[in-house]
Amino acid sequence: MSTHHAMAALELIGIFVFAISGALTAIQKGFDAVGILILAEVTALGGGVVRDVIIGDTPPAAFRDVWLLLVPVAAATVAFFAHPVVERLTFAVLLFDAAGLGLFCVTGTLKALDHGLGPVQSAVLGVTTAVGGGLLRDVIARQTPALVKVDTDLYSIPAMLGAATVTVAHRLDLPMSVAAPAAAVAVFAFRVIAMVRHWTAPQAWTRRRAGEASG
């Protein structure tokens, strides 16, 4: 499988799983069918649209390829009818979000590299692609974005490591048909372990006074 085909396949899978994440969040919030569809589309395509605008690939791919718009519709439909069988919606949302995080950080980085961006810029854009849809989802759902919550389990850091892995593999001319899926799986696993073990990013360091330390 060529790099182009691998990237296209990962993109479609990422769109579907992120759309499921958005649709399940909408269902949790009590949104109607229209709200479920909108949140599925925004979650699935928001990060990619931001990516394409930044690199000058306009109009964004989501508005050139109708299938990219229809995949979230299918995901929203599945969530609309099948969500009663999901016993724990909260954990299901997080699992689908973790899968989308891994897939999108990889595809975003690869697309940036294909457009001639440097490794650091490509990694940054990969992270933007990964977290952009989830950020928009949380804002529309009127909840504090997971990206900036103090007690959020590691979210952007796994995406950063995944994007960095892709840039290193690209620099070493490793086969992306293998390296890209492997990086996506690693990000997913890292995010899930962080959720289970409640790993969080460090907060700003402050010096404690002597009286506070002894009291």
Q: What is the DSSP letter of 148?
A: T
What's the pLDDT at 105? 92
Confidence of residue 9 (pLDDT cuts 50, 70, 90): confident
pLDDT over 50 (residue 87): no
> Could you tell me what percentage of the chain is helix, strand and coil, using 3-state DSSP and rounding each to the nearest 5?
75, 0, 25
Q: Give residue 20's pLDDT.
A: 87
What is the extent of the structural domain holding 142? 3-214
Spatial CA neighbour of 40 closest among 77, 91, 95: 77
Average pLDDT, integer, range 114-137: 91
From the CA atom positions of the chain, what is the Rg in Å? 18
In contact, 192 and 101? CB cutoff 8 Å: no
| Structure confidence at residue 117 (pLDDT) | 92
Q: What is the pTM of this model?
A: 0.79
What is the pLDDT, as a whole number, of residue 123? 94
Phi and psi at 211, nearest 5°, equal -65, -40
pLDDT at residue 98 in the model: 85
In sequence order, what are the residues at sequence separation of 6 or more whose Cβ sits closer than 8 angstroms to the Cβ of residue 187?
A: 98, 101, 102, 105, 106, 158, 159, 161, 162
Q: For residues 33, 9, 106 and 44, what is the CA-based torsion angle, rounded to 10 degrees?
A: -10
Report the pLDDT value the prediction gives residue 186, as an integer from 0 to 100: 94
Measured between alpha carbons, how far is 14 from 48 in angstroms, rounded to an integer? 10
User: How many other C-beta atoms can be found within 10 angstroms of the C-beta atom of residue 38?
Assistant: 18
Distance, CA of 12 to CA of 204 (rounded, Å): 38
What domain count does the chain have?
1
Average pLDDT, integer, range 143-154: 78
